[in-house]
Amino acid sequence: MKVIAVLFSVMAVATAFAPMTAGRAKTELKKSFFDAVAEMDLFTPVKTQNDYGARKSKNIKTAKLGSNSYVPAGLTAAEYQKIRDAEDAKKAANYEKNVKKAGKFLDFTKFYTQRGTDLNQAWAKQPGRGHTFAKTKYSFDTAKDGKKWDGA
């Protein structure tokens, strides 16, 4: 009888630490990856966060200096804030300059016919072979001594 009691107590302890059997797995379908991506606001046609120039409609600015803010040695907080404000103004002006240029481009067909590529090969003998350069630091049309640039 003692043996049976010990056997039952050992089995009770063993079953207490045995892992639970898992029930049946759920079979409900989850949203697909495409559905999750398509429902993001990035693809909503009403949103304008991806339009060029949308930065001005957002509240993006450099934080003001607080009591625990970093201030470089040799400057007061007011001087450093003035420098930061000037950098922000410069950044905003540069962004606005680029926003004004958005969507403006040179029509390739117009460039092609003006160069004369469609008629003859005279463009190949021109300086730069008819290429329209984006910009140069100096004007090469006339040198300081009055001589014209001949492409040589």
Domain layout of the chain by residue ranges: 106-133
How many angstroms separate the CA atoms of 139 and 124, rounded?
Answer: 22
How many angstroms separate the CA atoms of 62 and 81, rounded?
Answer: 10
pLDDT at 83: 95
What average pLDDT is seen over the chain?
76
| Encoded tokens for 58 | 């957002």
The pLDDT confidence band at residue 43, using thresholds 50, 70 and 90, is: low
What pLDDT digit, counting tens, does each position of 18-41 carry? 677 777 777 677 788 888 777 776
- Return the SS3 of 23: coil
Average pLDDT over residues 141-149: 59
- Its pTM stands at 0.42
Whether residue 112 contacts residue 119, with contact meaning beta carbons closer than 8 Å, is answered with no
How many angstroms separate the CA atoms of 65 and 84, rounded?
Answer: 10
127, pLDDT greater than 70: yes
- Return the SS3 of 132: coil
Amino acid letter, 61? K
What pLDDT digit, counting tens, does each position of 54-91 carry? 777 778 888 889 989 999 999 999 999 999 999 999 99
